[in-house]
Amino acid sequence: MKTLGYYNGRYDEIEKMSVPMNDRVCWFGDGVYDATMARNYVIYALDEHLDRIYNSMAGMRIRPPMPKYKMGELLNGLVKKLDTGDQFVYWQVTRGTDDRNHVFGEGPSNLWVTLRPRRPKDTYKPVILITAVDERFYYCNIKTLNLLPSVLASQRAKEAGADECVFVRDGFVTECAHSNVHILKDGAFITHPADKLILPGIARAHLLRWCRQNGVKTELRPFTKEELFDADEVIVSSSGSFCLQAAKVDGRAVGGGAPELLKAMQDAMVRDFAEKTGGGTVEF
């Protein structure tokens, strides 16, 4: 198969699939999701992504459609059905199927999966960022399907010729529209604490672990927009791009002050991805 769409046990190529109009995702975006990459038909950091989506379900009071290990087995089986082992693996759990009503019942949840051929974004290619006011609500730590503010911010970035949009709330940087953002300053890796204002990114966790294992100071604290512009390096991270260097923010050149440390972090992330997905050289 070239692509795969899955819904509650049925699957086919995505273009041939359909879902009920009264799935609550259609009314309210009532659900949570997660995503990662696969290479050589091996799903990267699957256990960590499963932990996060089950935490997201708990945070939204959504009943899991199956035990966590069963979902892992299902995803591992589905990726083998595509023609290529390099895939973007996306799955979401919605609260269920019912008539439109803000109050939810106790019905079973629905599981969606989509698989598409894709390689990771080149983590060594610098990106351009813009900033915008963070107008999202206080469930940013849960990977919900309510993404309109991020959609609008991503569109604004595209129209500005940028790759990603950095959110700023009350003068402090939180995260990006669909990734985490960090800075390097005076040899320290600085990132917003994992509270309700950011998603606890898997790549973010990997970067923190590498820093602690290699004697790089870490600071989990809010940092300002001014600190972003003054940083030695500005880093954007996600499971599909690992550790990107920002070259410009709002049209101003940033970073370039800690190239060796940045390169070591990028190499470590790519090496981890390679080792956990069958070895060899990662192709972007």
Residue 86 placed within a domain: yes
Domain residues for 213? 127-276
pLDDT in tens, 226-268: 999 999 999 999 999 999 999 999 999 999 999 999 999 999 9
Q: Is residue 105 located within the same domain as residue 134?
A: no
Q: Would you say the pTM of this structure is higher than 0.85?
A: yes
- Boundary of a domain, candidates 117, 137, 164: 117
What the block records as the tokens of 225 is 């927009």
CATH number at residue 62: 3.30.470.10
Q: Answer whether residue 145 is part of any domain.
A: yes
Is residue 190 one of the residues assigned to a domain?
Answer: yes
Q: Is residue 281 part of a domain?
A: no
Do 144 and 242 fall within a single domain?
A: yes
180 and 85 in a common domain = no
Over residues 135-158, the mean pLDDT reads: 96
122 domain residue, yes or no: no
Assess whether 51 and 182 both reside in one domain. no
Same domain, 155 and 61: no
143 among known catalytic residues: yes
Report, in angstroms and rounded to the nearest whole number, the Rg of the chain calculated over CA atoms. 19
**Count of CB atoms within 10 A of residue 20's CB?**
13
- Report the number of distinct structural domains present in the chain: 2
Of 143, 217, 225, 263, catalytic = 143
| Domain finish residue from 88, 117, 146 | 117
The rounded percent of the chain whose pLDDT value lies above 70 is 100
How many Cβ atoms are within 10 Å of 195's Cβ, its own excluded?
Answer: 13
CA 213 to chain centre: 23
Span 208-217, average pLDDT: 98
For β-strands 217-220 and 188-191, DSSP reports them as parallel
What pLDDT score was predicted for residue 107?
83
Where does a domain end: 117, 152, 182? Answer: 117
What is the CATH classification number for the domain harbouring 191?
3.20.10.10
User: Are both 46 and 150 inside the same structural domain?
Assistant: no
